[in-house]
């Protein structure tokens, strides 16, 4: 599936994920959710323009850790670009969840992407996020 602005694409396993496109004040993006009763798995990508005072990776990580309950973090490569990843525990949501976030930059444009995999903790966990990692590898910029 390609985003509304034709700048990136991702591939969902099948239509049961019900992927939706959005272009709004949250940015340009795609989100797909697989519902299983009250439980869920989701995979989304949001594209935003970099802020004028774009932080370096160390500053970004400090900012993320000050706002979220980060239980693991590190560096990975997405499309050859060094990118931050964080595993965040959301116990305050209506349905507690684990979310794996990767923040990566566009190779030539003033854009960045937040790629996220989420699972509800009532039924799923960290292993389920690892099983969804293949979805993240389908992300490609144009």
* Cβ neighbours around 74 below 10 Å, total: 11
In a domain, 16, yes or no: no
In a domain, 80, yes or no: yes
In a domain, 117, yes or no: yes
In a domain, 9, yes or no: no
In a domain, 19, yes or no: no
Say how many CA atoms lie within 13 Å of 126 toward its Cβ: 6
Mark 114-142 as b/e (b = at least 16 C-beta within 10 Å).
ebbbbbbbeebeeebbeebeebbeebebe
Q: What is the CATH number of the domain that holds 41?
A: 3.40.1000.10
pLDDT of res. 93? 63
What is the count of structural domains for the chain? Answer: 1
Would strands 70-78 and 81-90 be described as parallel, antiparallel, or unpaired? antiparallel
In a domain, 24, yes or no: no
In a domain, 2, yes or no: no
pTM: 0.90
In the block, residue with structure tokens 């979805």? 135
What is the span of the domain harbouring residue 90?
34-141
For every one of its 142 residues, what pLDDT tens digit does the chain have, with 9 covering 90 and above?
Answer: 899 888 999 999 988 999 999 888 778 999 999 998 889 999 999 999 998 999 999 999 999 999 999 999 999 999 899 999 999 999 876 789 999 999 999 989 999 999 999 999 989 999 999 888 889 889 999 8
pLDDT of res. 71? 96
- Say if CB 90 and CB 70 are below 8 A apart: no
């Amino acid at each position: 599936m390609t985003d509304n602005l034709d700048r990136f694409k991702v591939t969902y396993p099948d239509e049961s994920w019900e992927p939706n496109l959005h272009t709004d004040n949250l940015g340009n993006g795609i989100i797909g959710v697989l519902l299983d009763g009250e439980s869920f798995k989701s995979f989304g990508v949001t594209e935003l323009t970099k802020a004028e005072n774009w932080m370096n990776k160390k500053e970004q990580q400090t900012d993320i850790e000050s706002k979220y309950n980060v239980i693991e973090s590190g560096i990975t490569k997405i499309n050859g670009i060094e990118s931050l990843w964080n595993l965040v525990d959301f116990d305050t949501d209506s349905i507690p969840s684990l979310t794996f976030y990767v923040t990566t930059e566009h190779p030539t444009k003033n854009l960045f992407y937040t790629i996220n995999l989420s699972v509800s903790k009532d039924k799923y966990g960290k292993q389920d996020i690892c099983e969804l990692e293949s979805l993240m590898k389908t992300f490609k910029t144009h």
